[in-house]
Chains A and B, each alone.
Chain A
Amino acid sequence: MRNKSLLKEIAIIISICASSLIAVAQKKGKIVVKNDSSLTKIDPLILNKVNFPLNIAVLPENTTSSTQAVYTSSLVKQPVSNVLNALTGRLAGLNTQQITGQPGFDGVVLSLRGRTPIVLIDGIPRQLTSTDLEGIESVTVLKDAMATAMLGVRGANGAVLITTKNGVRGVQQISLTVQSAFQKPLSLLKPLNSFDYATLRNEAVANELRVNPNFNTGLRFSDADLTAYQSHSDPVGHPDVNWYNQILKSSAPLNRYSLNVSGGNKTVRYFTEVEHLYQDGLLKTSDINTYNTNQYFSRYLIRSNVDIDITKNVSAGIHVFGSIANENEPGVTTATLFNSFLTTPNNAYNIYNANGSYGGNTTFRNNLQGQAFSSGYQQNYSRNLIADFYVKRTLDEVTPGLYVKASVAYTSSLSENINRSKPVIAYQQTISNTGDVSYGPALTPTSAQINTNLISGTTGLDGLGQFRQNYFELSTGWNRTFNNAHDFNVAVLANSDSKSDGANLPYTIQGISARASYTYKKKYIAEFAEAYNGSNYYLTDNHFKYGFFPVFGLAWNIANEDFIQRLSWVNTLKLSANFGRTGNDNPGYFVYLQRYNNAAAPYFGTSNGANTSLAEGTLANPNITYEKADKFNISLQASVLNNRLGFTVDYYYNKFSDLLIQRGQNTSLIGNSYPNENIGRNQYSGMEFQLSWQNPKSGDFSYYASFNAGFQQSKVLYANEVAQPYDYMQRTGQKVGQAFGYVAEGFFQDQADVNNAKQNGVGVVTGYIAQPGDIKYQDQNKDGLINQFDQVPIGPKGPYITYGADLGFKYKNFDMSFLFQGAANYNVYLNGNSYWEFQNNGFGQAYEQQLGRFTSTNTAGATYPRLSIGNNSNNQTFSTFWYRKADFIRLKNLQVAYTLPIKYAKAVKLSSVKLFANGVNLFTVTSLKGGLDPEVYNGLYPIQRVFNFGITAKL
């Protein structure tokens, strides 16, 4: 049953991808199909080695794990500042979500098989993902239990492993890339012009008056006002300012310069790089300032990976990464500015008074233009350093294939917030009856510019604040093949990873991990990996709580069987499965200790002194332990037809237990907050697919196509839920994070419809007086009331689907690629002052979607309920009306590149020159109406559409 629906979804996805492809093809003109001798390599098919966490790399023929990776050539196609943003759409099952487009803070949020994966850089858990792309060799997604087994107590959520480039032995290569882009906002909200705003607000007031006579007639605009708004004859008294146009530029530049040098000889190999990125923001600036008030992000970084063979048996490496990043925004902060767009209607005030001062009035005191130009500035300044060292000694003299290795890794971050903001002074301009112009008193008290520099906890650009990490590892391994049949791979390591964040005591995870695999004749693989590790925030004798996390795997390399080897068209065919337990350590900060915290200070005495107070904090949980996940993964991987067609199918079933949640049966009678306890159980399951096709090298033309899709389902197995009076209210058994709300049944068409509500099985929120144009809700329990008993699971029923398609071709020196990315069964909640009208007690913004409102003349065709002022307790309740389907497909990336014929490059003494142009977020098809972007739809800093041009020269 489930599989059937899955198949159906797959069919839909494929058809969507196909049709989009055709659409693009038609747009770009006819594609000439010719044979090509050179081929653009499909990165996912480059099967060299599999990177595991903790710097364990194994050959794919020796593991039962199924991983997938993207490589430099794909990553560099987008000019993004965060490496995670380059993963969108490229890895099956890895979902990225961009919350904001604000430069410096625009990193995506990852989710993998329903959980948030841990990020590893060069094998070690750390979060510095704001980095260059050229220095990244690959990003591997580790999804199954085997892949993260050695992480033990932090392997349960999967991992994304970023591996940086090392030098290779050979001639020195120097590569310089210069790129320049301009960014345009993908979608902005569409506020109403002043005339529409005033007209609609009058209508909303009239609606309120119907229920509540004498509501507040003062909120009405007069006919004279309306005329003035329409004619724009009185810009001071009746302004009409589109604040987005007023404050934002239409585009902003982004520049990136990257120079790297790599090479090596017999004993030393190196890869070094310097990079500079400058990403400008969309805010206009003014010459009145000697400083920049625009949002911008600027970063310099260096990377130097050096590996040395000291003797025949001893090798060592020093890998250093450093970055300095600076982010700037206006004094009020960019987030505040974008929030002001939502609270400031177009007719709020004139921008400048006649005397040049900022306009405003008692309701709108903060002039937006002033906030952008005259509120000073704030800067985030962060410095990050990573230094990794290792020494490796091969011990072939003991037994061939044995080695021992010691590594130390040190990470340090410091992020400062420099605040140089100042108040914006606005004045209300009034014209008296006699025509005298006066400027009211300042609407904001003047004060000196703030001058602070804060370094605090987990703030700052990378969310790190003050952060230190010390990592030690000692490992030994043994890889040996006997008689060309018995292949042994063994690795044992002990590590300790200690992090300090601000003033907290270090959080240390330490333990011993091991991995062993045995491969017989490259056909049968048996694999075992384990970790025995834990962290130090627990109530045990030595404060460490360790867990044992074993994972077992078996694989059958069918392609190496004799009967398959005879079939020349089968290149690889491998069936693998693994099962095991991993953990997720989430101990909080010594929550086993019952602590007594400072509380609000009460006052005593006539002198009105505040008195320090103490209260018992959240109840302690002495039994807290790590969360556990039992994960099963089975994978079939094949490539056939001379490696032209490749596909991989993964099925997984993960059962999480001991999840830390607050118990559902939490009564206030206990008199305190319940702690999180290890009681939750969730299940995640799904499938992931990859399918690729590439033509063989022949002639001038080559092409490739690769598709991936992930289907993710989840289920709450246990949450200590309260006894629900109706089955449909049960949270247990539903998806993890299932939304519950009312089912909207359109609008009341007329008074008769209102009167018949009860007999039609619909209604309004209990106590609310309905009028035509209000949203009616289904009365689920048929008790004639709409209340908590009528809230049912709403939103998508099927699995959450993410998918991507990477298509490209090459013709002679010209190549082109497309990346499509999308999600299905995806909903967003449109709410608040970025979507509803006249919030903030009636003074908020209103938008174009309100033009489709219900009125006495627009009934059946209405797309929006009747207008209201401020909060509407019925219409603005969480329901299917606001929880909208937002499935989408994006042309995430398109790149066109031209490599200069070698003879021209040689003429300028270069080995190769490549010119390229690429675009990001070029177009989006979404089921979300009204021109809203499916990722940033709530008025935050928009995602950008980027047009980028660049050149790479190699010496």
Chain B
Amino acid sequence: MKKTIYISFLFFFMITVMPSCKKVENQPRDLNTLDLVFDSQDLNATLAQQFLNNIYNYLPTGFNRISGDFLDAASGDAISSLANTPISYYNNGLVSSTTNPDGYFSNSYNGIHQINIFLANIDKVPVPTANPTRTITWKAEARFIRAFLYFELLKRYGGVPLIGDKINGLNDNLQLSRNTFAECVTYITTECDAVKGQLNLEPISATNLGRIPRGAAIALKNRLYLYAASPLFNGGGFESDATLKVLTGYPNNDPTRWQNVIASAEELINLGVYSLVQSGNAGYVNIFSQKQNSEVILAKQQINDFTLETVNAPVGYTVNNTQSAGRTSPTQDFVEAFPTISGLPITDPLSGYNAAAPYSNRDPRFNAIIFYNGSAWLNRSGGVQTFDGGLDRPNITSVNQTKTGYYLRKFLADNSTSSSYSAQSHNFVYFRYAEILLNYAEALNEVGRTEDAVQQLILIRKRAGIQAGSGSRYGIATGVNQAGLRTLMQQVDRRIELSFEEHRFWDLRRWKIAPTELNKTLRGIQITKNANGTYTYQTVPVTTITFQEKLYHMPIPYNETVTDANLKQNSGW
């Protein structure tokens, strides 16, 4: 009996005490769940809007984004001031499917995934009667960004798997095949057309700056049509394998594709809300340092700071205890592309070019884009010193300096006469009106309307501050033919106007001139300061770059082709 009591007592104790009966929080309530993010009770849609905000994070970044270098430092217009940085891989053959400095694959698909979650859930959130189009606009923004992310993939890799509106999970079959180039073009342009009427109407309010405007959808469509009509994608693929060729471009050539470019450019121009920022050199600088202006259609909104100055200004300037890194060295080849103020190339005897004073009397944009010997900066007497032994090219063992005699000035705020840097706007521009005009001009020229094209170029040259010259041709020869204007745009107008905005790297490819433009010895300038204070300029070779055919399209990351066996690798990789 006694035993039984003890034993039952024991078991009672164990059963009651051990699984402690306290009420506890058994699952964290401090985590946001889907119900909370897309709250069917919240008229303000606070968290849903935060979810949309994040989608903007997937928009591409720019400037010194490739391990500290500009993408354009692989386009022949510049090189990195440092040796053996990843950007050089595009020019020395070190790119591979495991090593691609500008791999972009997962960023786009991550963005698309978040966008699809947003699109699938946002309708749960109530719409305020005061703002009945809120959800419609938000969805259009998300869809535009999705189209943009696909475009970023398309220009790098060619056709990629289109996910549609599907939200993939752990149990979904992801052995997806690539869609063809044509399918991707259709998808992106259809999306652009579908959302353009729903996006934010210009003018965009100061508080909404950076939210996708209507013009962006048209500009994206315009750029895509331009790429699609260009030689590389318009039936000019180099692949011998037809199944690959259809993935990376149209299999056939169809010159009428240029009409899409013309139509979409005119669509944007006819909106009448965008225009070139005027007033010469200052205007050109202001495009990039004024947050809101008439020219920029869409830009990556970034915090005001002076990081860009610190990274790119000449190495002789130390501001706030930080030595400027002078990371980018524009080449002599690029410098020589600038016409003189007359708009004529420096090789033209009538241009007014003086080899003894090579930097004077040039296209005013030269001053805004390039730091050359004598550029005014931070109030230093005599300006930038890139002569041998100068403050910005000291040739000492502890400083990585310019390799070409130039530094990159574009995008920096005008600090010519300030004593120090101040936080300035540095938004990275995706689309601006000048690009649309250049796209328009290119298409006009290609369909034979060369003179119409010239008129577009003149708008830009005029804004740049080039003198009108005889017949108000702004340096463009009277009676220039299609081929001549094409070369002029490729080597001068588009190259200079859109320099370092991540165009030329892709332009050289779509024009199929990369094999000549990226297979050469790039040059720099060596400047000797003479005893009498004058300078002697000598052009010197700096580095030899190479291009391989396979670099027309980027390699699909190796990890992706092994995890998805249906994902065909591009030719040559």
Interface residues of A, Cβ cutoff 8 Å to B: 198, 201, 208, 212-221, 225, 348, 361-365, 395, 397-399, 404, 441-445, 472, 474, 476, 494-496, 504-506, 510, 512, 536, 542-543, 589-590, 593-597, 599-608, 610-616, 619, 621, 664-672, 674-675, 677, 722-724, 765-769, 787-788, 841-843, 868-873
- Docked-complex contact B565 and A723, CB < 8 angstroms: yes
- Docked-complex contact B53 and A601, CB < 8 angstroms: yes
- Docked-complex contact A476 and B28, CB < 8 angstroms: no
Q: In the bound complex, how far is the Cα of B233 from the Cα of A469, in angstroms?
A: 65
Q: In the bound complex, how far is the Cα of B57 from the Cα of A675, in angstroms?
A: 22
Is B23 part of the binding interface, using a Cβ–Cβ cutoff of 8 Å? no
Q: Contact flags (1/0) for B65-101 with A, using CB distance below 8 Å?
A: 0000000000000000011100001001111111100
Is B24 part of the binding interface, using a Cβ–Cβ cutoff of 8 Å? yes
Q: In the bound complex, how far is the Cα of B84 from the Cα of A950, in angstroms?
A: 57
CB < 8 Å: which of B19, B33, B208, B398 contacts A594? B33
Q: Can you list 5 A-B pairs, Cβ within 8 angstroms, ordered by A?
A: A225-B397, A441-B321, A615-B51, A670-B170, A841-B82
- Docked-complex contact A767 and B89, CB < 8 angstroms: yes
Q: In the bound complex, how far is the Cα of B98 from the Cα of A765, in angstroms?
A: 12
- Docked-complex contact A602 and B57, CB < 8 angstroms: yes
B310 nearest CB across to chain A (Å) = 12
- Docked-complex contact B51 and A596, CB < 8 angstroms: yes
Given the complex, which residues of B lie within 8 Å of A788, measured CB to CB? 96-98, 558
Given the complex, which residues of B lie within 8 Å of A505, measured CB to CB? 25-28
The residue in chain A whose Cβ has the minimal distance to the Cβ of B170 is: A619
The residue in chain A whose Cβ has the minimal distance to the Cβ of B17 is: A474
- Docked-complex contact B401 and A613, CB < 8 angstroms: no
- Docked-complex contact A445 and B320, CB < 8 angstroms: yes
Given the complex, which residues of A lie within 8 Å of B10, measured CB to CB? 404, 476
Could you list 15 further interchain pairs (A-B, Cβ under 8 angstroms) beyond the known A505-B26, A603-B210? A212-B543, A214-B542, A216-B83, A217-B395, A218-B401, A399-B3, A496-B18, A595-B33, A604-B209, A606-B206, A614-B32, A614-B54, A667-B560, A722-B562, A873-B94
CB < 8 Å: which of B117, B318, B397, B401 contacts A220? B397
A603 in contact with B50 given A398-B3, A496-B20, A671-B163 (CB within 8 Å): no
Given the complex, which residues of A lie within 8 Å of B400, measured CB to CB? 216, 218-219, 841-842
- Docked-complex contact A219 and B321, CB < 8 angstroms: no
A671 in contact with B168 given A213-B543, A596-B34 (CB within 8 Å): yes
- Docked-complex contact B542 and A669, CB < 8 angstroms: no
A363 in contact with B174 given A602-B301, A766-B96, A787-B96 (CB within 8 Å): no
Given the complex, which residues of B lie within 8 Å of A217, measured CB to CB? 395
Given the complex, which residues of B lie within 8 Å of A767, measured CB to CB? 89, 92-96
User: By CB atoms of chain A within 10 A, which of B28, B302, B304, B393 has the most?
Assistant: B28
A445 nearest CB across to chain B (Å) = 5
The residue in chain B whose Cβ has the minimal distance to the Cβ of A397 is: B2
A607 in contact with B82 given A217-B395, A613-B50, A669-B161 (CB within 8 Å): no
What 3 A-B pairs are tightest by C-beta distance, nearest first? A671-B113, A767-B93, A613-B54
A593 in contact with B113 given A505-B25, A722-B562 (CB within 8 Å): no
- Docked-complex contact B398 and A843, CB < 8 angstroms: yes
B373 nearest CB across to chain A (Å) = 16
- Docked-complex contact B14 and A494, CB < 8 angstroms: yes
- Docked-complex contact A670 and B14, CB < 8 angstroms: no
Is B215 part of the binding interface, using a Cβ–Cβ cutoff of 8 Å? no
A606 in contact with B303 given A220-B397, A619-B170, A787-B98 (CB within 8 Å): no
CB < 8 Å: which of A212, A397, A597, A621 contacts B83? A212
Q: Contact flags (1/0) for B191-211 with A, using CB distance below 8 Å?
A: 000000000000000111111
Given the complex, which residues of A lie within 8 Å of B318, measured CB to CB? 362, 441
A869 in contact with B83 given A613-B53, A619-B169, A787-B98 (CB within 8 Å): yes
Interface residues of B, Cβ cutoff 8 Å to A: 2-3, 6-7, 10, 13-14, 17-20, 24-28, 31-34, 36-37, 47, 50-51, 53-54, 56-57, 82-84, 89, 92-99, 105-106, 109-114, 116-117, 161, 163, 168-170, 172, 174, 176, 206-211, 291-292, 301-304, 318, 320-321, 323, 393-401, 403, 425, 524, 540-544, 557-560, 562-565, 567
CB < 8 Å: which of B83, B168, B208 contacts A604? B208
- State the main secondary structure of chain A at its contact with B: loop
The residue in chain B whose Cβ has the minimal distance to the Cβ of A869 is: B83
Q: In the bound complex, how far is the Cα of B83 from the Cα of A841, in angstroms?
A: 7
A606 in contact with B291 given A395-B6, A668-B109 (CB within 8 Å): yes
Q: In the bound complex, how far is the Cα of B397 from the Cα of A201, in angstroms?
A: 10
CB < 8 Å: which of B31, B110, B172 contacts A668? B110
Number of A-B contacts (CB under 8 A): 267
Q: In the bound complex, how far is the Cα of B403 from the Cα of A494, in angstroms?
A: 73
The residue in chain A whose Cβ has the minimal distance to the Cβ of B19 is: A510
- Docked-complex contact B541 and A213, CB < 8 angstroms: yes
- Docked-complex contact B304 and A671, CB < 8 angstroms: no
- Docked-complex contact A607 and B168, CB < 8 angstroms: no
Given the complex, which residues of A lie within 8 Å of B161, measured CB to CB? 669
CB < 8 Å: which of B208, B399, B524 contacts A218? B399
Q: In the bound complex, how far is the Cα of B397 from the Cα of A601, in angstroms?
A: 40
Given the complex, which residues of A lie within 8 Å of B96, measured CB to CB? 766-767, 787-788
- Docked-complex contact A669 and B168, CB < 8 angstroms: yes
B144 nearest CB across to chain A (Å) = 15
Q: In the bound complex, how far is the Cα of B96 from the Cα of A768, in angstroms?
A: 11
Given the complex, which residues of B lie within 8 Å of A841, measured CB to CB? 82-83, 400
- Docked-complex contact A611 and B50, CB < 8 angstroms: yes
A556 nearest CB across to chain B (Å) = 34
- Docked-complex contact B398 and A723, CB < 8 angstroms: no
- Docked-complex contact B83 and A614, CB < 8 angstroms: no
B488 nearest CB across to chain A (Å) = 30
Q: In the bound complex, how far is the Cα of B83 from the Cα of A608, in angstroms?
A: 35
- Docked-complex contact B110 and A671, CB < 8 angstroms: yes
- Docked-complex contact B110 and A672, CB < 8 angstroms: yes
The residue in chain B whose Cβ has the minimal distance to the Cβ of A362 is: B323
Q: In the bound complex, how far is the Cα of B112 from the Cα of A608, in angstroms?
A: 26
B496 nearest CB across to chain A (Å) = 25
Q: In the bound complex, how far is the Cα of B98 from the Cα of A788, in angstroms?
A: 7
Q: In the bound complex, how far is the Cα of B211 from the Cα of A610, in angstroms?
A: 13
Given the complex, which residues of B lie within 8 Å of A512, measured CB to CB? 14, 18
Q: In the bound complex, how far is the Cα of B4 from the Cα of A398, in angstroms?
A: 8
The residue in chain A whose Cβ has the minimal distance to the Cβ of B540 is: A214
User: By CB atoms of chain B within 10 A, which of A542, A543, A669, A788 has the most?
Assistant: A669
- Docked-complex contact A670 and B172, CB < 8 angstroms: yes
A766 in contact with B114 given A362-B399, A496-B18 (CB within 8 Å): no
B340 nearest CB across to chain A (Å) = 28
Q: In the bound complex, how far is the Cα of B32 from the Cα of A446, in angstroms?
A: 42
The residue in chain A whose Cβ has the minimal distance to the Cβ of B105 is: A668
- Docked-complex contact A599 and B54, CB < 8 angstroms: yes
Q: In the bound complex, how far is the Cα of B207 from the Cα of A872, in angstroms?
A: 48
- Docked-complex contact A364 and B84, CB < 8 angstroms: no
Given the complex, which residues of B lie within 8 Å of A668, measured CB to CB? 105-106, 109-110, 557, 559-560
- Docked-complex contact B321 and A443, CB < 8 angstroms: yes
User: By CB atoms of chain A within 10 A, which of B24, B323, B398 has the most?
Assistant: B398
Given the complex, which residues of B lie within 8 Å of A365, measured CB to CB? 321
Given the complex, which residues of A lie within 8 Å of B169, measured CB to CB? 619, 670
Given the complex, which residues of B lie within 8 Å of A441, measured CB to CB? 318, 321
Q: In the bound complex, how far is the Cα of B131 from the Cα of A385, in angstroms?
A: 59
A670 in contact with B174 given A218-B401, A442-B321 (CB within 8 Å): yes
- Docked-complex contact B28 and A590, CB < 8 angstroms: yes
User: By CB atoms of chain B within 10 A, which of A362, A443, A589, A871 has the most?
Assistant: A362
Q: In the bound complex, how far is the Cα of B244 from the Cα of A927, in angstroms?
A: 52
Q: In the bound complex, how far is the Cα of B564 from the Cα of A494, in angstroms?
A: 49
Q: In the bound complex, how far is the Cα of B292 from the Cα of A787, in angstroms?
A: 47
Q: In the bound complex, how far is the Cα of B11 from the Cα of A512, in angstroms?
A: 12
- Docked-complex contact B82 and A616, CB < 8 angstroms: no
Given the complex, which residues of B lie within 8 Å of A769, measured CB to CB? 92
- Docked-complex contact A474 and B321, CB < 8 angstroms: no
A603 in contact with B302 given A668-B105, A669-B161, A669-B564 (CB within 8 Å): yes
- Docked-complex contact B32 and A474, CB < 8 angstroms: no
A771 nearest CB across to chain B (Å) = 14
